[in-house]
Amino acid sequence: MKCNFGIKPREEHRFRSAGEFFRTAWDLRKHLFSGIVPVFVSPGRMDPAFREKVCLTVTWANRCRACMAVHSRWGKSAGVKEEEISDLEILDPAKFEHREWVALMYARDYILFDGRIPDEEITREYKKLYSEKERADILAMIKMMDFSNRFNNTWDRRRVESRISGEPSRK
């Protein structure tokens, strides 16, 4: 598995407990009507190709196979090329327009560091390049995808089947 410039990707990120699931779902509700729904239904609110790149960046970080398949297809429908989808795993700055790269790095780091952004320079640049409303929409997409990825990874059919059949749980 490729490394993201020194940041080792996590294994499939999933919910560790029912409490964590419900806390995350409760937090996500704040973003539902202010950011998530409008981003998908309001023309011009967020470019669909950029939206799918944010979703795919989070999905790469969480290693969610189901969401990768769905959002790769949606991304292609929105105009994202196959090569660009592959580039989202590494996030080489030479492969992206600077403004977009900063937002994608922010999204990836938000996930890999559980909401704590270690790189102050990226955070400063992100705040400089994106308005408060744009950042709120991007954060809504990040949180929605994180929840979806973790939900899918938690209930992955193979894992559930192994638990039912009595096989040891895979970590």
Q: How many CA atoms lie within 13 A of 7 on its CB side?
A: 20
Helix (H, G, I), strand (E, B) or coil at 153: helix
Number of domains in the chain: 1
pLDDT reported for residue 2:
35
Q: Is the pTM of this model over 0.85?
A: no
Position 5 in a domain: no
Residue 169 lies in a domain: no
Domain span at residue 132 reads 18-153
Tokens 């967020």 -> residue: 46
Identify the three-state secondary structure at position 89: helix
In a domain, 4, yes or no: no
With H, G, I as helix, E, B as strand and everything else as coil, classify residue 44.
Answer: coil
Per the prediction, the chain carries an average pLDDT of: 83
What is the arithmetic mean of pLDDT over 65-78? 92
CATH number for the domain including 87? 1.20.1290.10
